[in-house]
Amino acid sequence: MPSLFTALPPLRRVSHPLLAGKAITLIGVSAVLYDDETFYFEVNRPRHWARRADGTRSVGIGAIGGRIEPGEGPLACLRREVQEELGVGFRLERPERTAVIHEWQVAGWLDLPPSRKHPTPYLVNLLPPQLGGPGMPDHVAILTLLGRPRGRPRRSDLFGLLTVSRSALDSFFEREEWPLEKALRHPGLSFDLEAELPPGCVLRPVLTARALRVLARQGIVP
C-alpha cells in the first residue's frame, strides 16, 4: 500500500503535527457523493458485519470507494470504484478546506492550494495501525474526495445502496446507530439491497460515513 504522501504529494508541505514527519500508509480512497437532493452510501457486505455479545448483528454504512491498485492514483482509483459500484461517473468537487479527522474528532483544517495534477481531499481520516512494533506506520489513512454523480447512481457491484435525502441527513446522523426496523420506516432513507438484512440488526456509520457524521454534527456538510 502506498504512502499517503506519495499518493498525494501536496500533503508533504503541510505543517500539521499529525502529518508532518509522520509515516502514514494510505489504505483507501472514498467519496462523499451527493447531488442537490441525495447523499449516497454503501451498505457493507455480510463478511464485514460484526456480531455483538448479545448476538445482535451490526451492519456498517460506509462511503463509496476502495483500495488503490498498483500504479493508480487516488482519483483514478475512485473513478474506477464509483463506476464499478454505482455504474456512473462523477464530477469532482473542490472543497474550500480539508478536514483532518483523528480519533473521530476534527483535529484541524488544511488550506491546500489548487493543483491540476492532484485532487484536493475533503477529509483525511487518520486511523491507528492494526498492529504495533518496528516498521509500523504512525497512522493509516483514508482519503475522501467530494463528487457529484453524472447520472442516476444504481446498485451495481455493491451488497446494498443507501440513499439519504438531504433533508434527512441531520436526523440520520443524530443517532450512533439505527435499528433496522426504524431505518426502514424513515421517509428520508431508501435501500436497494442484494438480499434482506438480518431482522433485529442495527445500522452503524463506519469509516468515511462516521467521519462525515463528525462534520455533520457541527453543521458542516457539502
pLDDT in tens, 145-160: 999 999 999 999 999 9
Rounded mean pLDDT of 61-87?
Answer: 94
- Residue 101 and residue 202: Cα distance in Å, rounded? 24
Taken in order of first residue, the domains within the chain and their CATH numbers are 4-216 (3.90.79.10)
Residue (of 100, 143, 139) closest to 8 by Cα position: 143
Q: What is the pLDDT of residue 20?
A: 94
Q: What is the pLDDT of residue 88?
A: 97
What percentage of the chain has pLDDT greater than the value 70?
Answer: 98
Q: What is the pLDDT of residue 41?
A: 98
Buried b (16+ CB within 10 A) or exposed e, 127-154: beeeeeeeeebebbbbbbbbbebeeebe
Which cell numbers in the block locate residue 195? 438480499
What's the pTM value of the predicted model, to 2 decimals?
A: 0.94
Q: What is the pLDDT of residue 145?
A: 98
Please report which confidence band the pLDDT of residue 220 belongs to, taking 50, 70 and 90 as the band edges: very high
- Regarding beta strands 98-102 and 123-127, do their DSSP bridges make them parallel or antiparallel, or are they unpaired? parallel
- CA-CA-CA-CA torsion sign (41, 44, 49, 50): negative
Please report which confidence band the pLDDT of residue 132 belongs to, taking 50, 70 and 90 as the band edges: low
First to last CA, the chain: 29
Q: What is the pLDDT of residue 134?
A: 62
pLDDT at 1 over 90: no
- Regarding beta strands 178-179 and 38-43, do their DSSP bridges make them parallel or antiparallel, or are they unpaired? unpaired
pLDDT at 133 over 70: no
Please report which confidence band the pLDDT of residue 44 belongs to, taking 50, 70 and 90 as the band edges: very high
Q: Is 74 helix (H, G, I), strand (E, B) or coil?
A: helix
Residue (of 180, 187, 183) closest to 202 by Cα position: 180
